[in-house]
Structure 1
Amino acid sequence: MNTNDLKPNIYGLQQDVLNLLGNVSKLMGDVKETLSGDNSGEKYGDYQQDIDNAVVNVKELELRMAVVAPMKAGKSTIINAIVGDDLLPSRNAAMTTIPTEIILKKELTQPILILSEHIRKVFKGCYIALKEKIQKLKIEKTLEEKTGQYPHLRELIEEIYNLTENELPNFLDSEKIEGKENIGKALTSLNDIIRLVSILDPNFDPIQKLREVPRIETGFCQISENGNQSEQFGNLVIIDTPGPNEAGENLKLSYVVENQLEKSSVVLIVLDFTQLNNKAAEDVKRQVKPIIDLRGKENLYVLVNKVDQRRDGDMTPNIVKQFVFNDLKLSESENTDKVFEISARKAFCANRFLLDLQNQDIDTKQKASIMPSSKTLAQEVFGMDWEEDLEEVTIKQLQKKANKLKEKSGFNIFLSQTISVLMENAAPKCLKSSLNIAYNHLISVRDEVKLRGSAIAQDEEKLRLEIEALEADLKRLELCRTKLQEVDKIKAKLEQQLNLILDDLKKDALVKIEMFYSEEEYNQADWREKGEKSIKNVVSWVAKQIGAKIDSEKKQTILEFETEQKAQQFIGNTIAFGKQRTESHLLNVRKKVQVIIENKRNELAKSVEEEAKPIIEKAKQRLKETFDVDLELRSPTFSSNQNLNLNYIKATSKTRNIDQGYDTVSYQQRHWWHWAWIVPKEYTKKVKKADKKVAYYTVSLEEITLQFNDSLETSIKSMNQEIAKYLDEDFKHRIDNYFEKLDAYLTNYRDDIKQAQKDQKLSLEEQTKLTDKLNSIIPQVNEKVEESQKLTEIINELIK
């Protein structure tokens, strides 16, 4: 490779790195073959395997792009258009409730849905809980009341109701589900289950239990306009995330989606061109605010879909950009190049036909009507005469129409620019990491070969003394490791500091009954609808949403409701407020803890290096070699079980007798003095009515607060255990790993010198041949080291 001809773009740079890694792997294989007669050959085989693994990482680089739609804007159609097939189910009702990863792999011809054991376990629990709930509601004859506005869930309800004991749907039995139809059914079931749980049992929150998300691996349309396979580096990963308006009243999605958004290099916000108006602007701003707070606007891109419905007098492209900037606040300027106008429907029809063509070995001179995907494409490109025109056109001619339609859809520009950004964000770190592996192994080979070649010519006594010196260095290194108490000191300080933070968390996040009646707490809640100035507290707001009458001035701890549905709705909404408030505190503390540990680990790295590096430096001075090793300690991660898990809270059913007052009753009575008993006299009297027995339902705010605070205590204990585990195990393990690297450095050189002692026992002719082999390796290694350094410099410029 000529390093003067390095390609300037990220795709070319990736290919340059792949070429270098391939050459380095071959060189390691040659070194292994050359030195196969001694003990060092196996070591160089390990080096070669490391390089080959790095090649795979660079080739299979994941480019993560999250797609979010704050309105019903054709999100599924956009993802299906990228794939080239109707992979994701879509309908008028809100569909997505859990994030789903779609991984594009060019070698696949059939999609595969992967549901891990953890995911299947969570959903099995959902089915069991729902079956019990549905049976209970059917007995109480209140099921229709709860689910009447969700007709698409009726079939699922009957399916769950009719399951026999211990019976579960077949798709939960296997980790992999193949085929588009089977995947569509499984995804629809998963999303509908989450939505049904939120309706029937708001307190049961399976989303918070999920640590992983479903993954779909699928092929995609790779045919470019000239009919060739498009160049593709890495695997594009699309994350289909629930839109803020798809959550439903009782779904708490923000903490589930947050992790996926943080891992994505680009976030796409999808808008519907036909709905862009001032009313929509307020809704969109409110719904995407958490995304902007989390990710900022730097890597936020806006897709305006359905622009094929633009008519005279509608917004022009420039006005759309101004609207996105001024009204939606989604871009950093009105001249942004991060707003794309597209027609997902047109792109889908084009790519579906092209993917169909890609997967078939077919003569393009045949009539296009023989291909199933030709009908929808013909409808788009031929208009009202599509049926007649389709009978006349060939596959080749329709392919040209498909490419032209795809270009007009805006998808080509959108995809090329977005994927370029993904590559620019994700690729440099991966490329640099792979180059570091290659560089370190090249340096090791060069230094070891140089030392061994030089040592052959030294006298035996000098070699013996150097081996003894290196073994003494190893002992000093081990002694340093034993004496070094910094880990324990830092751990003790950290535990003390973190305990204080967790104590403060308990005080700040503790839920009290008064908070539900606090105007300040209500104003801080961002889940409520804005603009309700008359409402002063959380209880009033929740009561208004469900049409219940509650006197907030009395600040009762026991609230009464006319129906169980209103009572359970109140519980669900009140829990939503409390969970958001408490989990917000937990999230802030997690981030604070990570910053503290990050700072402490840097202090530890400095301390360890100050103690250990002098030993290495002395050895380097003796051997006149170079060596460098970085201390790597990763940040601690907190498992998802630190989210609040609340037990089921149920409204209490009670009855009371209501005084119905008195009725006036007429009666007759005969008297001797009234017509001599012949004609009865009329009288009236008050008779008490029977008391009416009325059912009502009560909710205890005291029980809800107790649940929150118990759950908070559990979450804090879990966080404390995670931190302690990290400090006890992971933190210490990384220190041990650092010393093992230093140990390996000195041990390698000692072993090289010992091998040189064996080399001296070879005949003079054999020594000469070996020396020539060793000397021939060094120039090749130097060339690859230089290439690696130049590529690293380029990548460093990209990362800045």
Structure 2
Amino acid sequence: MYEQNIELLREESLRLLEVEIDLLQRMKDADGVVVDEHSHEHQTFTQASIQKDLQMLRGEADKLQRLEMVLAVVGTMKAGKSTTINAIVGTEVLPNRNRPMTALPTLIRHTPGQIEPVLRLENIGPINSVVAELHELLRDPAGQQLPYELIDDKDMQSLLRLIDENQRFDNCYQGPEAIFWFLRSLNDLVRVALELGVDFPFDSYDEIHEIPAIEVEFSHLAAMPEGLGRLTLLDTPGPNEAGQQHLRKMLGEQLKNASAVLAVLDFTQLKSDADQHVRQELERIADVAQGRMFALVNKFDEKDRNSDDEAQTKRLVADSLMEGRLQHSQVFPVSSKFGDLANRARRELALNGCLPTIVGEQNAWVEDFGKAAFGMLWTSMVTNPEAVKTAANALWNASLFAAPLDQIIRKAHAGAATLAVASAAAKLADIAARLNNFLSVRDAALGKGVEELSEQINSLRNDIDRITGLEAKTRKDAERALQAIDGKMNKVFSEIRAAISAQIQEGFKAGKETEEQQPQERKRESLTGLLSMLTGAGSQRRLERRRTTYGYEFNEDTPVIKLSNREKAQEITQGIENGVREIITLNERRLVAETELILRDFHVLFEQGISTQASEIISQLNQRLNRSGFFIAIKLPPMPALSMRPSSGEVLGEVIENKQRSVRRRRRAGGLWGGICSFFETDDWGWETYSSREEYFEIDVNKVKASIEKSVADVFAGLASATVETIAKPLEASVDNFFDELRLTVESIRSDLNQSIRDKQSDQGQQQRLGELLAGFKRHVPGIQKDSDALKRDIPSAGVEVAA
């Protein structure tokens, strides 16, 4: 129903645009109606300004016709985001790898007729500068060298050759293999740059037109009418991918402006330990993409008889993970793997009539398709085109992709239409109001004497002076109000910062076991397990362990934790980060709620004060001119949420130290005696001691605390400047815009009256013809104004404000 309604509004917008464009064009061409602007005057319409209005309205009509739909795709780690995008497109355009693959956001644009995908990145210069810098760094024998694991990575070899030979990336790549190579190399380049301390130029890619774009025909859209609009996917970096923090602002803006947002989740990990981190990221996205978000629960093909079914999965995601931010109908369990394989098979049949031959790694997907579609009989069945066609259709149905794809594209279409209609309606209503003022003043003025018109002009000049005086007073009021806001904000910041610090410190006091004590404690627990179960002590112990904020029990007397492998050290630090992030998230909600309350109270009082005084001037103006109510509303921008959530890597920095220690070990002695003792398995004879160097990893809890405290301090230091950026500057801009608009409107009426005096200098016949033209144009305005205002009222909320 929503989609049907917005389509009707789109058609109405196009009709009104056609009517208004026709009226403006006829006014522009009519002799004497719209003239060139005179010095020191600002007529409502001039030959130059009306041409700009016509161009703007035609642009709005073009946007409504094209409907550029952007579907932003976000995904948790290893959820299968690339496979999902390939399934939506209907062909493989993004490579699949087990590690993060989206260092930069990438656009994938539906381009009818473009069968082979083409990637373009016009802004390739900053990336090639990194290649040149790495080349100089690595060729210096005394310089920093790459670690062995990167040199040994077979996927990295072609990039390392490119750097070694000081080659450059191209700005265009055609075909899947070339595109895969470029995207893989780009992500590996980020890894190499970060490893060697070279800054990757993320700032050069913080605008949507600066990022890579792939153009290809989406097979599912090939048969759809072009009037539906043009669909573009935005592949975004995940929360743990390198560079994501540098692009957070741009991604936030894109998520706000996206027609719809698609979150890809991993069915097999919905109840994992990472659940809290996933929830926080999804909550952040859902808050930005209000009402336009869908969740695809991928890997549903891995469901077994003990797993949640489709209805249970929908409830888990909508009610638990998303805490009611999504409806059950917005959650879709799917298999992107099945969808992707089915699409690739159907595409090969359509292009070549059969599946390609597997040659080594080339076309290895055919084996995946065969096993998924035919099981053990796959080798004999994949050569049968009819069997492949039937199996591909069955696999597509089993992927459960058809329903969400249809709903999401329709929602994206409706979202794009809503934004386009809202933009057009705002501009239609604005021009209709200006038309009403312009034609009413010019038409009525023809029947007035020059002396009366001069009196009105002088009165309007006085109105402008009063507006200037009110503006000066408003600025002083705004300064006082901002001082009051600043005091209240600082009080809230101090209270919340103290609460965060206290809660973070409490997390380190959750347990008393050191890393060395934990294995012995587990042995004791196993020996007393039966008694613990009988008394309930074990249950309580496990409950307390689950309550540990950071997932590890720290001992205040042993601040340095020593571990034998980096993975365990990273697990501990990740647990701390997740715990700190949860504490910050909970307090962030309080911060946002309290700051919004302060700003809402200020907004109401400030707007009421300024509107009351401004409306007195407008009311007197309207009474003098004997016109219908002339209304301008102040529009202070909404207060953006002040985000306290630091991005990944900003909380702890590098707090794991790699060290070596000398350890004494025992081994069997050599020779005959050692062999005899080994044969009889003696515990004391035939052993010798030796020393060796052993690598270990050290986490200094005090350094961790200091790093967290610095991170929190930096956040709150930034809030002071954020207050200036998000409150003071927008308020100042709003006051400027309000008074500029008010002054310009009054000045336009004054200039129109000046033109009316010049009209009266022409002969009677010319004045009569001008009067007939003005009256004829004026007859169309009430209908346009009424329909434009109704269109504005009927637009469903799209979660954005659209200015005229």
Q: Report the TM-score, using the length of structure 2 for normalisation.
A: 0.71
What SS is found at the alignment partner of 1:86?
coil
Q: 1:23 — aligned with what?
A: 19
Alignment counterpart, residue 508 of structure 1, candidates 499, 511, 533: 499
Is contact 1:564-1:697 (8 Å) kept? yes
Q: Determine if contact 1:99/1:242 at 8 Å carries over to the other structure.
A: yes
Q: Decide whether aligned partners of structure 1 residues 467 and 13 sit closer, same or farther in structure 2, where only a CA change above 3 A counts.
A: same
C-alpha contact (below 8 Å) 2:89/2:220 kept by paired residues: no
The structural deviation recorded for 1:554 is 5.1
Indicate conservation of the 8 Å contact 1:284/1:328, yes or no.
Answer: no
> Structure 2 vs 1, CA of residues 229 and 738 (structure 1 numbering), >3 Å: closer, same or farther?
same
Give how far 1:464 is off: 0.9
Matched-pair contact (CA < 8 Å) for 1:203–1:648: no
How far, CA to CA, are the matches of 1:572 and 1:327 in structure 2?
A: 24
Q: Structure 1 residue aligned with 2:448, among 458, 462, 465?
A: 458
In 2, Cα distance between equivalents of 1:370 and 1:566: 45
Partner of 1:498: 489
CA distance in 2 between counterparts of 1:232 and 1:354 reads 26
Distance (whole Å) between structure 2 residues aligned to residue 252 and residue 497 of structure 1: 30
Q: Match for residue 107 of structure 2?
A: 102
Evaluate the alpha carbon distance shift between residue 259 and residue 115 of structure 1 in structure 2; reply closer, same or farther with a 3 A threshold: farther
Q: Which residue of 2 aligns with 1:722?
A: 722
CA–CA distance in 1 between the matches of 2:223 and 2:566?
63
Q: Which residue of 2 aligns with 1:618?
A: 620
1: CA distance between counterparts of 2:732 and 2:78? 50
Instruction: Work out whether residues 305 and 343 of structure 1, in 8 Å CA contact, stay in contact via their aligned partners in 2.
Output: yes
Deviation (angstroms), 1:581: 4.5
Asked if residue 47 in structure 1 is aligned to residue 42 in structure 2, the reply is: no
Give the Cα–Cα distance (whole angstroms) in 1 for the partners of residues 254 and 797 of structure 2: 28
- Asked if residue 221 in structure 1 is aligned to residue 218 in structure 2, the reply is yes
| CA–CA distance in structure 2, aligned partners of residues 338 and 719 of structure 1 | 35
CA 1:764–1:156 in 2, change beyond 3 Å: closer, same or farther?
Answer: same
The aligned counterpart of 2:466 is 476
Q: What is the Cα deviation at residue 730 of structure 1?
A: 3.0
* Rg (Cα) greater in structure: 1
DSSP 3-state at the match of 1:596:
helix
Looking at structure 2, the residues matched to 751 and 223 of structure 1 have their Cα atoms a distance apart, in angstroms, of 56
Match of 2:233 among 225, 232, 238: 238
CA distance in 2, matches of 1:85, 1:535: 47
Shift of 1:449: 1.1
Deviation of 1:590 (Å): 5.5
Deviation at 1:470, TM superposition (A): 0.7
Over residues 421-451 of structure 1, what are the superposed CA-to-partner deviations in whole Å (9 max), with x where a residue is unaligned? 3344554354233202111111211221121
| CA shift digits 1:86-122 (9 cap, x unpaired) | 111113x244455735353446835445587999599
What SS is found at the alignment partner of 1:510? helix
1:360-375 pair list within 5 angstroms: 368=353
Instruction: Please name the residue that 2:747 is paired with.
Output: 747
Do the aligned partners of residues 51 and 630 (structure 1) sit closer, same or farther apart at CA in structure 2, a change above 3 Å counting?
A: farther
Helix, strand or coil for the counterpart of 1:85? coil
Alignment map for 1:271-290 (pairs within 5 Å): 281=271, 288-290=278-280
C-alpha distance in structure 1 between counterparts of 2:192 and 2:582, whole Å: 21
8 A contact 1:32–1:42 mirrored in 2 = no
Match of 2:762 in 1: 762
Q: CA shift at 1:218, angstroms?
A: 2.7
Give the superposition deviation at 1:614.
Answer: 0.8
Instruction: Show the counterpart of 1:608.
Output: 610
- Aligned-partner residue type, residue 503 of structure 1: S
CA shift for structure 1 position 754: 0.6
> Structure 1 739/10 Cα, relative in aligned 2: closer, same or farther at 3 Å?
same
The alignment covers a number of residue pairs equal to 716
Inter-CA distance 127–59: structure 2 relative to 1 (3 Å threshold): farther
Q: Secondary structure at the match of 1:236?
A: strand
Separation in 1, partners of 2:473, 2:316: 62
> Does structure 1 residue 324 correspond to structure 2 residue 314?
yes
Whole-Å separation in 2 of the counterparts to 1:335 and 1:587? 22
For the pair 1:487 / 2:478, whether they are aligned, the reply is: yes
Contact 1:324/1:334 (<8 A) preserved: no
Amino acid at match of 2:231: L
Query: Match of 1:789, SS?
Result: helix
Does residue 435 of structure 2 align to residue 448 of structure 1? no
Quote the residue 1:361 is aligned against: none
Report the 3-state secondary structure (helix = DSSP H, G, I; strand = E; otherwise coil) of the residue aligned with 2:213: strand
Specify the code of the residue in structure 1 equivalent to 2:701: L
SS of the residue 2:761 aligns to: coil
Displacement after TM superposition at 1:750 (Å) = 0.6
Comparing 229-238 with 13-22, greater Cα deviation is found at 229-238
1:738 correspondence with 2:738: yes
Task: Report the Cα offset of residue 794 of structure 1.
Answer: 3.2
Q: Name the residue aligned to 2:775.
A: 775
Deviates more, 1:179-188 or 1:633-642: 633-642
Distance 2:652 2:555 in 1: 28
Say which of 635, 640, 650 aligns to 2:638: 635
Residue in structure 2 matched with residue 9 of structure 1 by the alignment: 5
Measure, in 2, the Cα distance between the counterparts of 1:587 and 1:59: 41
Alignment CA distance shift 1:322-1:449 (3 Å): same
> What's 1:170 paired with?
168
- Judged with a 3 Å threshold, the aligned counterparts in structure 2 of structure 1 residues 633 and 342 are, in CA distance, closer, same or farther, namely same
Give the gaps of 5 or more residues in structure 1.
1-5, 358-363, 523-529, 544-551, 661-688
- Contact kept, 8 Å, 1:636 with 1:723, in 2: the verdict is no
Please tell me whether the aligned partners of residues 203 and 647 of structure 1 are also in contact (alpha carbons under 8 angstroms).
no
The Cα offsets for residues 674-696 of structure 1, whole Å up to 9 and x where unpaired, read as xxxxxxxxxxxxxxx99999887
Shift in Å at residue 309 of structure 1?
Answer: 9.0
SS of 1:498 mapped into structure 2: helix
Alignment of 1:36-75 (within 5 A): 36-39=34-37, 40-59=46-65, 61=67, 63-68=69-74, 74-75=80-81
- After superposition, residues 553-702 of structure 1 pair within 5 angstroms as 553=555, 555-560=557-562, 574=576, 577-578=579-580, 581=583, 585=587, 589=591, 592-594=594-596, 596-625=598-627, 626-637=629-640, 644=650, 648-649=654-655, 651=657, 653=659, 699-702=699-702
Superposition RMSD in Å:
5.7
Q: Residues 66-465 of structure 1: matches in 2 within 5 Å?
A: 66-68=72-74, 74-91=80-97, 93-96=98-101, 100-106=105-111, 109=114, 110-114=117-121, 143-144=148-149, 153-156=153-156, 159=159, 163=163, 170-171=168-169, 180-192=176-188, 214=211, 216-221=213-218, 228-241=223-236, 266-270=260-264, 281=271, 288-291=278-281, 293-294=283-284, 295=286, 301-303=294-296, 319-325=309-315, 329=319, 336-340=328-332, 344=336, 347-348=339-340, 368=353, 384=380, 387=383, 389=385, 410-425=400-415, 427-465=417-455
Q: Percent identity?
A: 19
1:491 is displaced (CA, Å) by: 0.9
8 Å contact kept, 1:513–1:557 = no
Shift of 1:228: 4.8
Equivalent residues of 1:477, 1:743 under 8 A apart: yes
**Are the aligned partners of 2:504 and 2:580 in contact in 1 as well (CA < 8 Å)?**
no
Is contact 1:10-1:424 (8 Å) kept? yes
AA matched with 1:51: L
Distance change (3 Å), C-alpha of 1:197 and 1:76? same
Residue type matched to 1:220 in 2?
E
Work out the CA distance in 1 between the residues paired with 2:107 and 2:769: 56
Matched residue SS, 1:519: coil
Taking a change above 3 Å as real, the CA distance of residues 692 and 106 of structure 1, as seen in their structure-2 partners, is closer
1:787 matches 2:787? yes
Specify the code of the residue in structure 2 equivalent to 1:705. K
SS of the residue corresponding to residue 627 of structure 1 reads coil
Deviation at 1:738, TM superposition (A): 0.3
Moved more, 620-629 or 734-743: 620-629
| Rounded Cα–Cα distance in structure 2 between residues aligned with 1:352 and 1:441 | 51
Unaligned runs of 5+ in 2: 38-45, 358-362, 514-538, 667-688
Gap change, CA 1:734 and 1:37, over 3 Å in 2: closer
Bigger CA drift: 631-640 or 469-478? 631-640
Aligned-partner Cα distance in 2 for 1:586–1:131: 44
Query: How far apart in 2 are the matches of 1:201 and 1:632?
Result: 49
